[in-house]
């Protein structure tokens, strides 16, 4: 008998049967939170980007491929507007474009939106950019604040691309602090920065702004660089605008902490703070949680993040931890947990003691999640607002421990083998006897 050729056929048949069974099982057990894996529906809101261009006096300098910085920026803007995807809404704001005087107070209010955020009229936008002449001061902080306002508040991520060649000449407000505040309030806001032939001060400032909002910093030293990078950043706005977590404020104790359904959340947590959340988990379910804490300000080089899951009485269930040192954007940790056998028993005990009205509710375990960080601030680092925390919570069907049979040991196996042997021996013996009998008759 050729078992080798037979097995795949059996396998296929069996597995399809098992699959059918599982399918029926899942449909019978009711709606599982499978919706957790649904992709975020394409946002009804279009992606919105605001380009913020510095038109201060220093943009006159001719040090990029022998051309002036402003003409390089103008050319890049023209190409970006031409290549703009139709659904992307683009706005352009300038700073230091109109005030010619020497009064710093006046000059530091000099920022205008020359193209409002919305569907772009390409010709009009290009014409507006082409007429810009380098003039005044560099109020970066104010321009960022206004740009965030231009983009409005909505449910999707916003992007600001800041192009400048000089450091802010109008602090306070410190543009880096402004960026951090903007990122902490309202919707997700990312500021990407582009330095035109930057010196050390500009680089430090732009790096700080980018880090504060989870954006990027690029040094543009040629027209080609600038155009390519601008196009890439505008494209990114289109790719990322729909993925926005919802805001939640964790409590300082498990009692009264927000109850979370599966999904992505953001919160803020400052140094040595603990943030608590609660997640309801049914006995046949598994909790999955991950957390990322972003380093949006200068901190000491060694750091860590700890995510713990505890029962409602404070008993620790499981922990996820990660630590590191050096340059990074986020530090992440994650954990999985599902109710074990003794937890089931305990839940049943609680159920027995609880009032009959609460019986159905106590079948659901409420797991507390606590996020803590091991960042330490450098001298002069602000503690407020806290660092961005991204929390992902998922509740899925639990994966039971596989238990294979005791092959090679155990009385059950011996009994099975003996029975199978006996049965086959009997059948073969009977067949032989019958065959011998018929042969003799013939």
Segment 5-24, which members bind another protein (CB under 8 A)?
7, 10-11, 13-15, 17-18, 20-22, 24
CB of 268 to another protein, least distance (A): 16
Quick check: 434 binds another protein (CB under 8 A)?
no
Site for another protein in 335-394 (CB under 8 A): 335-338, 360-361, 363-364, 366, 390-394
Nearer Cβ to another protein (103/403): 403
Scan residues 186-205 and list those touching another protein (CB under 8 A).
190, 195, 198, 200, 203-204
Residue closer to another protein (CB basis): 22 or 127? 22
243: its two tokens: 């993925």
Pattern 393-422, another protein, x by CB under 8 A: xx-xxxxxxx-xx-x-----x--xxxxxxx
Nearest approach in angstroms of CB 57 to another protein is 23
Calculate the alpha carbon distances from 199 to 53, 62, 63, 399 in Å.
17, 15, 12, 56
Contacts of 247 (CB under 8 A, 6+ apart): 265, 266, 267
Instruction: Say if residue 385 is preceded by a cis peptide, omega within 30 of 0.
Output: yes
- Count, residues in the chain: 442
- The minimum distance between CB 162 and another protein, in angstroms, equals 13
Which of 258, 298, 385, 386 touches another protein (CB under 8 A)? 258
Count of residues interacting with another protein (CB under 8 A)? 117
As given in the structure block, the two tokens for residue 127 are 């014409």
Q: Report d(CA 247, CA 275) in Å as an integer.
A: 14
CB nearer to another protein: pick between 129 and 179:
179
- Supply the minimum distance, in Å, between the C-beta of residue 113 and another protein: 26
Task: Describe the strand order of the beta sheet including 316-325 as a list of residue ranges.
Answer: 274-281, 365-373, 302-310, 316-325
Question: How far apart (Å, rounded) are the C-alpha atoms in residues 132 and 171?
Answer: 24
- Residue from 235, 344, 350, 351 binding another protein (CB under 8 A): 235
Comparing CB distances to another protein, the nearer of 81 and 220 is 220
Options 2, 4, 5, 37; binder of another protein; rule CB under 8 A: 37
Q: Which residues contact 168 (CB under 8 A, 6 or more apart)?
A: 138, 139, 140, 141, 174, 175, 205
CB contact set of 97 (below 8 Å; sequence gap of 6+):
55, 110, 111, 112, 114, 132, 133, 135, 136
Q: Could you tell me the two tokens for 133? A: 């002449």
Task: Name which of 109 and 259 has its Cβ closer to another protein.
Answer: 259
Map the footprint of another protein across residues 261-280, applying CB under 8 A. 261-265, 280
State the minimum distance, in angstroms, from the CB of residue 106 to another protein. Answer: 32
CA atoms within 13 A on the CB side of 54: 29
Tokens 């010619």 — which residue?
A: 100
Task: Determine, following the binding rule CB under 8 A, whether residue 83 of this chain makes contact with another protein.
Answer: no
Residues 104-163 that bind another protein (CB under 8 A): 155
Interface with another protein (CB under 8 A), residue from 218, 227, 372, 373: 218
């Amino acid at each position: 008998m050729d078992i080798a050729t037979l097995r795949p056929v059996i396998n296929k048949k069996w597995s399809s049967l098992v699959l059918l069974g599982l399918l029926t099982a899942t449909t019978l057990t009711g709606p599982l939170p499978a919706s957790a894996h649904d992709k975020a529906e394409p946002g009804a809101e279009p992606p919105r980007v605001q380009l913020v261009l510095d038109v201060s006096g220093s943009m006159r300098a001719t040090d990029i491929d022998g051309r002036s910085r402003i003409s390089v920026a103008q050319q890049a803007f023209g190409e970006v507007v031409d290549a703009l995807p139709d659904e992307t809404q683009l706005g352009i704001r300038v700073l230091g474009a109109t005030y010619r005087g020497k009064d710093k107070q006046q000059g530091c209010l000099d920022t205008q939106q020359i193209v409002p955020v919305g569907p772009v009229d390409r010709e009009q936008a290009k014409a507006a950019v082409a007429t810009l002449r380098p003039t005044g001061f560099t109020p970066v902080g104010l321009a960022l604040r206004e740009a965030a306002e231009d983009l409005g508040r909505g449910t999707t991520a916003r992007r600001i691309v800041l192009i400048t060649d000089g450091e802010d000449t109008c602090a306070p407000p410190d543009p880096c602090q402004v960026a951090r505040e903007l990122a902490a309030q309202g919707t997700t806001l990312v500021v990407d920065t582009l330095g035109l032939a930057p010196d050390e001060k500009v680089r430090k400032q732009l790096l700080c702004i980018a880090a504060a909002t989870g954006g990027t910093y690029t040094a543009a030293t040629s027209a080609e660089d600038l155009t390519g990078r601008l196009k890439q950043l505008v494209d990114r706005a289109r790719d990322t605008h729909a993925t926005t977590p919802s805001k939640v404020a964790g409590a300082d104790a498990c009692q009264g902490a927000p109850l979370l359904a599966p999904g992505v959340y953001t919160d803020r947590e400052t140094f040595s703070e603990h943030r608590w959340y609660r997640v309801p988990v049914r006995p046949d379910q598994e909790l999955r949680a991950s957390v990322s804490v972003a380093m949006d300000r200068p901190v000491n080089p060694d750091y860590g993040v700890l995510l713990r899951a505890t029962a409602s009485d404070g008993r620790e269930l499981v922990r996820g931890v990660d630590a590191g040192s050096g340059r990074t954007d986020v530090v992440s940790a994650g954990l999985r947990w599902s109710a074990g056998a003794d937890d089931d028993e305990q839940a049943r005990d609680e159920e027995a003691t609880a009032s009959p009205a609460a019986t159905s509710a106590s079948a659901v375990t409420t797991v507390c999640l606590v996020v803590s960080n091991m960042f330490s601030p450098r001298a002069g680092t602000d503690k407020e607002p806290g660092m961005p925390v991204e929390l992902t919570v998922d509740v899925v069907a639990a994966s039971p421990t596989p238990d294979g049979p005791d092959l090679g040991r155990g009385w059950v196996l011996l009994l099975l083998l003996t029975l199978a042997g006996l049965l086959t021996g009997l059948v073969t013996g009977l067949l032989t006897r019958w065959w011998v009998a018929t042969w003799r008759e013939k």
